[in-house]
């Protein structure tokens, strides 16, 4: 048998009195988190949840997330983490598509009516029998009459439990892909997928029980879940939780808790780099930080270099997907690293670049990134057609365009769906963005294709300027034109105060295309 909850159980045995999670002024030990997870597991079993049943979870980065997550796993059930930004119709879709039998939903936060939306979606989902409200305190009553709370589920339950025996190939978590093409699909990740990926992730940055991790990436996202939460619990780290990214809040927590490891997406590094203020001892923060990790999207080399220069800490960039549990490649200590690269394949995973017929392309040529290994999902839940299209002969086809250099390092050129075809020529937005980011006035840029009668698609750049800097669209177009092939430079530039982002900090190009 193998159950992912072994991470928490083992650390609760080894470090029972050590802080596992810190949120604001709340400090919870490993023994406390494990005891609460046991109570939730016992409550779920008493409520009729059986091994293999799906249980959905909508929760911000607060200590209730790991409690419920591991409670569901201990009951032998499958965790279905949902984005905290979902609206009622989306909640309904996810509950129905996953065949969820129960649903835990956090109250929400100012401007984020999670329970209101979650409850409305739940009411339209007949098969999902119970909604458990995660209240601010376990003793608080539900703000909606007639709904049970997590506290009520736990009440009277023993803080000891015997974890249900699950097999390594049983599904542990169903992670929904972002749905940039069609409806979101639920990737079934097994106990083996997630256990091996957390163990190898811990090996990539080597946290110990003496370390403190800052988790601001949303826990419902596979990056934070595996690389930070599960890897951290496996190694017995203290994990400081922050529900939403704010540069000042991040720096404040780094200073207060002497944070040693931070993981973020590129927009977070950009935010920290652009923070202006002298409230914090940046030298002290830098001296505590051992390493930073980046994933979720390609990190512009300029941001990486500027961040490392300012904070005097190395950023290790990796590449992963929900379908890959998530880590596929990483800039690792052994093979070394190359800024701008996503590194080399992690242990037990094979990666290659192939053409449209599935044949490997020569070194340096562009093609689709495909991979196979212990990290590959067993498939999308109830989506046989999507499985056949995505997983061929054991190789998962990522939909990402990449290259491999002579040293075996991989590079992401762009998402296939983000590629712009201008006059029959392929333009990869990442390439244009990297050039434009080198301009002194440019702080952030996203390049998209817009409809054009003559060329089919034209290139547009959405640009956020550095504070106090000015440049005209014509000047920026001319500057870029001098540094890139004639068919690649943007013909249209729109200056913006900010770029739309997802809950995980990814720039939402599909929103920019609507503008």
Model pLDDT for residues 224-261, shown as the tens digit of each residue:
999 999 999 999 999 999 999 999 999 999 999 999 99
Residue showing tokens 């006035």: 441
d(CA 301, CA 371): 25
425 or 123, greater pLDDT:
123
Contact yes or no for 299/331 (Cβ under 8 A) = no
253 or 178, greater pLDDT:
253
Residue showing tokens 């991040």: 250
d(CA 131, CA 145): 12
182 CB contacts (<8 Å, ≥6 apart)? none
484 or 216, greater pLDDT:
216
Two domains, one topology: 193-415 and 419-514: no
Distances (CA, A) of 100 to 46, 325, 328: 17, 21, 29
Band (280; pLDDT cuts 50, 70, 90): very high
Whole-number pLDDT of residue 423: 80
Asked if the model's pLDDT at residue 428 lies above 90, the reply is no
What does the pLDDT look like over 316-350, one tens digit per residue?
Answer: 999 999 999 999 999 998 888 999 899 999 999 99
Asked if the model's pLDDT at residue 179 lies above 90, the reply is no
Distances (CA, A) of 427 to 137, 370, 491, 513: 52, 21, 13, 16
Whole-number pLDDT of residue 182: 66
Asked if the model's pLDDT at residue 103 lies above 90, the reply is yes
Contact yes or no for 133/142 (Cβ under 8 A) = yes
Tokens found for residue 157: 């339950």
Portion of the chain with pLDDT greater than 90, in percent: 84
| Residue 136: closest CA among 102, 113, 101, 108 | 108
Cis peptide before 432 (omega within 30 of 0): no
Q: Which of 128-142, 157-171, 409-423 has the lowest mean pLDDT?
A: 409-423
What is the mean pLDDT of the segment spanning 62-77? 98
SS3 assignment, position 446:
strand
Whole-number pLDDT of residue 60: 97
Portion of the chain with pLDDT greater than 70, in percent: 99
Whole-number pLDDT of residue 366: 93
Residue showing tokens 């009520």: 152
Give the CATH number of domain 419-514; options: 3.30.390.50, 3.30.300.30, 3.40.50.800, 3.30.750.24.
3.30.300.30
Q: Name the phi and psi angles at 395, rounded to 5.
A: -90, 130
Asked if the model's pLDDT at residue 71 lies above 90, the reply is yes
- Per the prediction, the chain carries an average pLDDT of 94
CATH topology of domain 193-415: Rossmann fold (3.40.50)
232 or 274, greater pLDDT:
232
Tokens found for residue 58: 């909508």
Band (415; pLDDT cuts 50, 70, 90): confident
Number of Cβ atoms within 10 Å of the Cβ of 447: 29
Q: Name the phi and psi angles at 394, rounded to 5.
A: 85, -10
Q: Which of 19-33, 224-238, 294-308 has the lowest mean pLDDT?
A: 294-308
6-15+29-190 — its CATH code? 3.40.50.12780
Number of Cβ atoms within 10 Å of the Cβ of 434: 18
User: b/e for 64-103, b at 16 or more Cβ within 10 A?
Assistant: bbbbbbbbbbbbbbbbbbbbbebebebbbbbbebbbbbbb
d(CA 60, CA 219): 7
What's this model's pTM, rounded to 2 decimal places?
Answer: 0.89
Band (80; pLDDT cuts 50, 70, 90): very high
Q: Where is 461: in which H helix or E strand? A: strand 456-465
For 168-322, strand residue ranges (E) read 171-176, 186-190, 212-215, 238-241, 261-264, 291-294, 315-320
Q: Where is 55: in which H helix or E strand? A: strand 54-58
496 CB contacts (<8 Å, ≥6 apart)? 462, 463, 464
Distances (CA, A) of 176 to 12, 157, 186, 254, 462: 30, 31, 4, 31, 28
Q: Where is 71: in which H helix or E strand? A: helix 64-74
Task: Indicate the length of the chain as a whole number.
Answer: 515
What residues does each domain of the chain span?
6-15+29-190, 193-415, 419-514
What is the mean pLDDT of the segment spanning 20-36? 98
Band (299; pLDDT cuts 50, 70, 90): confident
Contact yes or no for 62/241 (Cβ under 8 A) = yes
67 CB contacts (<8 Å, ≥6 apart)? 33, 36, 37, 40
């Amino acid at each position: 048998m193998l159950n992912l909850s072994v991470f928490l159980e083992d650390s609760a045995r080894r470090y029972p009195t050590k802080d596992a999670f810190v949120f604001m002024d709340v400090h919870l030990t490993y023994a406390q988190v494990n005891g609460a997870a046991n109570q939730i597991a016992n409550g779920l079993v008493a409520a009729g949840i059986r091994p293999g049943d799906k249980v959905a979870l909508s929760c911000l980065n607060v200590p209730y997330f790991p409690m419920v997550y591991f409670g569901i796993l201990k009951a032998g059930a499958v965790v279905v983490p949902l984005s905290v930004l979902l609206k009622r119709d989306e909640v309904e879709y996810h509950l129905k598509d996953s065949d969820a039998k129960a649903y835990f939903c956090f109250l929400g936060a100012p401007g984020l009516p999670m329970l209101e939306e979650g409850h409305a979606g739940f009411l339209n989902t007949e098969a999902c029998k119970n909604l458990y409200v995660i209240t601010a305190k376990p003793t608080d009553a539900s703000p909606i009459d007639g709904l049970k709370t997590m506290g009520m589920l736990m009440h009277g339950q023993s803080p000891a439990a015997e974890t249900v025996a699950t097999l390594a190939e049983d599904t542990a978590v169903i992670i929904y892909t972002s749905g940039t093409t069609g409806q979101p699909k639920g990737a079934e990740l097994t106990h083996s997928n997630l256990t091996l990926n957390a163990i190898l992730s811990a090996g990539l940055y080597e946290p110990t029980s003496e370390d403190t991790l800052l988790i601001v990436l949303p826990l419902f996202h596979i990056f934070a879940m595996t690389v930070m939460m599960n890897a951290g619990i496996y190694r017995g780290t203290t994990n400081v939780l922050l529900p939403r990214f704010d540069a000042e809040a991040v720096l404040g927590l780094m200073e207060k808790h002497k944070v040693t490891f931070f993981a973020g997406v590129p927009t977070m590094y950009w935010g920290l780099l652009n923070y202006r203020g002298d409230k914090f001892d940046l030298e002290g923060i830098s001296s505590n930080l051992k390493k930073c990790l980046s994933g979720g999207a390609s990190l512009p080399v300029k941001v990486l270099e500027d961040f490392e220069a300012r904070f005097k800490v190395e950023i290790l960039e990796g590449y992963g997907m929900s379908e890959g549990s998530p880590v596929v490649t990483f800039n690792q200590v052994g093979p070394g690293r190359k800024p701008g690269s996503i590194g080399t394949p992690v242990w037990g995973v094979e990666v290659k670049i192939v053409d449209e017929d599935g044949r490997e392309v020569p070194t340096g040529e562009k093609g689709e990134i495909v991979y196979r290994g212990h990290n590959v999902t067993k498939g999308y839940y109830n989506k046989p057609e999507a499985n056949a299209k995505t997983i061929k002969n054991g190789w998962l086809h990522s939909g990402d365009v990449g290259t491999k250099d002579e040293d075996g390092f991989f590079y992401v050129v762009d998402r296939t769906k983000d590629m712009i075809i201008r006059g029959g020529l392929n333009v990869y937005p990442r390439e244009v963005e990297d050039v434009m980011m080198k301009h002194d006035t440019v702080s952030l840029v996203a390049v998209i294709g817009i409809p054009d009668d003559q060329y089919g698609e034209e290139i547009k750049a959405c640009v956020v300027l550095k504070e106090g800097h000015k440049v005209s669209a014509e000047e920026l177009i001319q500057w870029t034109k001098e540094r890139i092939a004639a068919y690649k430079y943007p013909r249209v530039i729109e200056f913006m105060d900010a770029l739309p982002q997802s809950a995980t900090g990814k720039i939402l190009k599909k929103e920019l295309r609507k503008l």
